[in-house]
Chains A and B, each alone.
Chain A
Amino acid sequence: EIVLTQSPATLSLSPGERAILSCRASQSIGRYFAWYQQRPGQAPRLLIYDASNRATGIPARFSGSGSGTDFTLTISSLEPEDFAVYYCQQRGSWPLTFGGGTKVEIK
């Protein structure tokens, strides 16, 4: 099983600041990698797929990078609605796995 380790667990920032979230895979997964946002009480929402492609309707302030084992989600300037939990996910091998999440909270 591929283990995804997200860091940090919590990120305390102010609106307008840049957020950088990391996810490391225990084995190489190529670019079969995605990022999701989950707000309280809501279903997750796809942000980034195939490591760097923004999903439909996702603002340009969200960007993804990386390949192999190290991946990054960058939010260039935090908006109030961006304070949420973010999960990474791999689909390079079975079982599909998610990271433990990074909570982006208001400082």
Chain B
Amino acid sequence: EVQLVESGGGLVQPGGSLRLSCGASGFIFSNYWMSWVRQAPGKGLEWVANINQDGSGKYFVDSVRGRFTISRDNAKNSLDLQVNSLTAEDTAIYYCARPGSGSGSYGAFDIWGQGTMVTVSS
């Protein structure tokens, strides 16, 4: 079964950091770009970051660039998101997603994890 499982969320104070992780199974992880997408409580979806197959290409939404880092370990089938300098605006469910369907280098998000909640509050 194709599956993504996130972990690492929690309650953190403003200015704090967390490391979110995503474990992949059921597909050849190293063949795919991978992504993080977040959703603030009661709000819509926001793309956060993408990483290409060998980790040499990384892309971020402006609001997190310089504060968040995306990385992957193809040997362990894992994807990470290091989130630093957190503010209340970063409070959201963070989804790991595979952009695997469609033409081009990366596709639409065809596989999603269940999400991990990050709450930034004092």
State the A residues within 8 Å of B (CB). Answer: 31-32, 34, 36, 38, 43-46, 49-50, 53, 55-56, 87, 89, 91, 94-101
Contact = CB atoms under 8 A, between A and B. Distances in A.
Contacts of A95: 47, 59-62
Nearest to B110: A46
Contact of B113 (A43, A98, A99, A100): A43
A97 B114 CA distance: 20
A98 B45 contact: yes
Interface string B40-62: 00001111001000000001111
22 contacts: A31-B103, A32-B104, A34-B102, A34-B108, A36-B109, A44-B109, A45-B112, A46-B101, A46-B108, A49-B102, A49-B108, A49-B110, A89-B47, A89-B108, A91-B102, A94-B59, A95-B47, A96-B50, A97-B47, A99-B44, A100-B44, A101-B45
10 closest A-B pairs by CB: A34-B108, A49-B108, A43-B112, A96-B47, A49-B102, A98-B45, A49-B101, A50-B102, A46-B110, A95-B61
Contacts of A31: 103
Secondary structure at chain B's binding surface: helix, strand, loop or mixed? strand
A31 to B, nearest CB: 8
Contacts of A100: 44
A91 B107 contact: yes
Given A43-B112, A49-B110, A95-B60, 20 more contacts: A32-B102, A34-B109, A36-B109, A44-B112, A46-B109, A49-B102, A50-B101, A50-B108, A55-B108, A89-B109, A91-B104, A94-B59, A95-B59, A95-B61, A96-B35, A98-B44, A98-B46, A99-B44, A100-B44, A101-B45
A43 B110 contact: no
Q: Which of A53, A95, A98 has the most CB of B within 10 A?
A: A95
Contacts of B101: 34, 46, 49-50, 53, 55
Contacts of A96: 35, 47, 50
A89 B58 CA distance: 19
